[in-house]
Amino acid sequence: MKKHNFSAGPCILPEEVLKKASDSIINFNQDNLSLIEISHRSKPFVDVMDKAQKLVRELLNIPNGYSVLFLQGGASLEFLMVPLNLLKEKGKSAYLNTGTWAKKAIAEAENFGHVEVLGDSSEKNYNYIPKGYTITNDFDYFHCTSNNTIYGTQIKDFPSCPTLMVCDMSSDIFSRKIDVSQFDLIYAGAQKNMGPAGTTLVIVKDEILGKTGRNIPTMLDYNTHISKGSMFNTPPVFSIYVSMLTMQWLKDNGGIDWVERINQQKANLLYHEIDRNPLFEGTANKEDRSNMNVTFLINDKSKEDKFNKICEEAGINGLKGHRSVGGYRASMYNALPLESVQVLVGLMQKLANN
């Protein structure tokens, strides 16, 4: 039986993408060679890279003047590449501390200069998005995390920003419409909503680079990768290929408009049940709740074992909450069908009814 995969990451990918990906390992493009044994400089792979970049541009409607990169090192390496490439000597940066990943990004930036935390929800175990702060133009850049994968919160309205705006969109890129022109740099590890682990998508406005006055090691310099079209060294070919297939799947089904609508339906369905069902309770502030990662607790502990058991029997995977929140976390990335959420909601109702 196919499982209902609510895993927070690496996450569910469309079945047809997985089939094509597995074919490519044995026989890529009917050429009797594997995708992972051909040169990354050969035409078949160069075409994959071109197509992947093109799909990112199309799906997100990226204006001119931005580069699209596929790098390695995960979103975690971006935590330090961002300050290295954007923070001026003796400069300062502004961050929002909205969870585990934001905190790690702050810690890396502190290695390079002064960091001011403009909003911080740690005192409430990150159950809300701070608001009402002001960003001033004496910061070299402002950094935020659009979706807090662990705590189940999401920025619904991005602040107006008189300096460069940088955003970690690892866990909600391609899930909703965004206006790329609002941002100067966006990054996202592939494995939450785009493809398998191994590559990191970076969208960067070209004109913001090369202004720090510091020496940047070659591999950590965005300009290296821009000038070589993400082929300065061997790129993670499999991860890029499968990401390309996932983006093609998204485009064929109707793009971001389509997926945003489905994602909203999934979120409405599950949050409605959490709010209605006396056995469960959401952990995040209602106005800041994430459409991707839904965090909730069970109120009646005596029913916990039973709930876990019926979930397992129904083939539900990855529902256990992160240790820093406890309870449950239902991650509902793009490829998770509405039916999987219906199954989960059905089980929550069943638990309440007997």
Ligand X SMILES: *Cc1c(COP(=O)(O)O)cnc(C)c1O
Q: Would you please indicate which residues are annotated as catalytic (active-site) residues?
A: 101, 168, 192
168 binding ligand X? (CB under 6 A): yes
24 binding ligand X? (CB under 6 A): no
Pair 310, 234: CB distance under 8 Å: no
Shortest Cβ 314–ligand X spacing (Å)? 26
Q: Specify the stretch interacting with ligand X by CB under 6 A; choose among 73-81, 154-162, 281-289, 302-310.
A: 73-81
User: For ligand X, which is the closer residue by CB, 72 or 317?
Assistant: 72
152 binding ligand X? (CB under 6 A): no
Pair 168, 154: CB distance under 8 Å: no
Q: Rounded to an integer, what distance in angstroms lies between the CA atom of residue 331 and that of residue 246?
A: 18
- Mark residues 81-120: x for contact with ligand X by CB under 6 A, - for none: --------------------x-------------------
Shortest Cβ 11–ligand X spacing (Å)? 10
- Mark residues 260-289: x for contact with ligand X by CB under 6 A, - for none: ------------------------------
Q: Is 269 helix (H, G, I), strand (E, B) or coil?
A: helix
334 binding ligand X? (CB under 6 A): no
Place of tokens 């309770």: 281
Tell me the longest C-alpha to C-alpha distance in the chain. 66
Q: Specify the stretch interacting with ligand X by CB under 6 A; choose among 34-42, 167-175, 219-227, 284-292.
A: 167-175
Query: Which residue in 116, 59, 109 sits closest to 244, CA to CA?
Result: 59
**What residue type is 354 in one-letter code?**
N
189 binding ligand X? (CB under 6 A): yes
Shortest Cβ 105–ligand X spacing (Å)? 8
For Cα atoms 198, 204, 210, give the angle at the middle one, nearest 5 degrees: 110
Q: Which helix (H) or strand (E) holds 160?
A: none
321 binding ligand X? (CB under 6 A): no
Is-cis flag, bond preceding 278, omega within 30?
A: no
Q: Specify the stretch interacting with ligand X by CB under 6 A; choose among 164-172, 203-211, 280-288, 317-325.
A: 164-172
Q: Rounded to an integer, what distance in angstroms lies between the CA atom of residue 9 and that of residue 192?
A: 5
User: For ligand X, which is the closer residue by CB, 197 or 343?
Assistant: 197
121 binding ligand X? (CB under 6 A): no
Neighbours of 275 (CB within 10 A): 12
Is 320 buried (19+), middle (13-18) or exposed (0-12) by CB count in 10 A? Answer: middle
- CA contacts within 13 A on the Cβ side of 333: 28
Q: Which of 98, 121, 153, 170 binds ligand X (CB under 6 A)?
A: 170
Q: Residues 196 to 255: which contact ligand X by CB under 6 A?
A: none
User: For ligand X, which is the closer residue by CB, 93 or 277?
Assistant: 93
Q: Which of 4, 143, 192, 266 binds ligand X (CB under 6 A)?
A: 192
Chain-centre distance for alpha carbon 78: 13
- CB-based contacts of 147: which residues, under 8 Å, 6+ apart? 153, 154, 155, 169, 170, 171, 172, 175, 290, 292, 293
70 binding ligand X? (CB under 6 A): no
Q: Specify the stretch interacting with ligand X by CB under 6 A; choose among 61-69, 72-80, 116-124, 336-344.
A: 72-80
Q: Specify the stretch interacting with ligand X by CB under 6 A; choose among 107-115, 168-176, 294-302, 315-323.
A: 168-176
Query: Which residue in 81, 87, 52 sits closest to 69, CA to CA?
Result: 52
Shortest Cβ 276–ligand X spacing (Å)? 28
Contact residues toward ligand X (CB under 6 A) are: 9, 74-76, 101, 145, 149, 168, 170-171, 189, 192
